[in-house]
Amino acid sequence: MIKEGVLEKIDFPILGVIPGVESFASRCASTCTISGPATWTSWRRSWCSRRPWAKSKIAVLATDNPNGESVIAYLNGTLAKRNLKLAAAPKYVIGPKIDWAPAIKAFQTAQPDVVILLGPPFATAGFIKEAKTAGLTSSLYGLSYTDHRLATKLAGNQLVRGVAIAQVFPNPANRVVPLIKEFRDNFEKYGKVQGVPSHFNLEGYIAGKIIVEAIRKSKDSSAAGVARAWICSRTTTWAATWWISPPPSTPARRSSTCRSSAGRAS
3-class secondary-structure state, position 164: strand
Is 65:47 a contact under the CB 8 Å cutoff? Answer: no
- H helix or E strand, kind and range, residue 255: none
pLDDT higher at 225 or 74: 74
Mean pLDDT of 238-262: 38
Domains of the chain: 6-38+175-183+194-265 (no CATH), 41-165 (3.40.50.2300)
Is 103:96 a contact under the CB 8 Å cutoff? Answer: no
d(Cα 38, Cα 35) in Å, to the nearest integer?
7
What is the Cα 85 distance to its own chain's centre? 23
Residue 82 has a pLDDT of 86
Task: Report the candidate in 206, 200, 174, 164 with the shortest Cα–Cα distance to residue 42.
Answer: 164
Categorize the per-residue pLDDT at 7 as very low, low, confident or very high, splitting at 50, 70 and 90.
Answer: low
pLDDT higher at 53 or 60: 60
Categorize the per-residue pLDDT at 216 as very low, low, confident or very high, splitting at 50, 70 and 90.
Answer: confident
Query: Pairing state of beta strands 139-142 and 32-34?
Result: unpaired
d(Cα 129, Cα 116) in Å, to the nearest integer?
15
Instruction: State yes or no: pLDDT of 139 exceeds 90.
Output: yes
Q: Which residues of 130-143 are buried (b: 16+ CB within 10 A; e: fewer)?
A: bbbeeebebbbbbb
Mean pLDDT of 19-42: 48
Integer CA distances (angstroms), 34 to 22, 24, 178, 211, in order: 11, 10, 22, 12
Q: How many degrees, rounded to 5, is the angle at CA 154 between CA 152 and CA 158?
A: 50
Instruction: Compute the mean pLDDT over every residue in the chain, rounded to the nearest whole number.
Output: 75
Q: What is the pTM of this model?
A: 0.70
DSSP 8-class letter at 49: G
DSSP letters, 109-128, are: HH--SEEEE-S-HHHHHHHH
